[in-house]
Amino acid sequence: MYGWMWRHLPGGTAIRTVEALVLVLAVVALLLFVVFPWVEPRLPWNDVTVDA
Let me know if residue 22 belongs to a domain. Answer: yes
Domain of 18 in residue numbering reads as 2-40
Let me know if residue 46 belongs to a domain. Answer: no
N-term to C-term CA, the chain: 53
Evaluate if pTM is beyond 0.75: no
Let me know if residue 47 belongs to a domain. Answer: no
Let me know if residue 15 belongs to a domain. Answer: yes
Alpha-carbon distances, residue 11 vs 2, 14, 19, 35, 43 (angstroms): 16, 8, 9, 31, 42
Let me know if residue 18 belongs to a domain. Answer: yes
Q: In total, how many domains does the chain have? A: 1
Each residue of 1-52: pLDDT tens digit? 788 888 999 999 999 999 999 999 999 999 999 999 999 888 877 667 777 6
Let me know if residue 20 belongs to a domain. Answer: yes
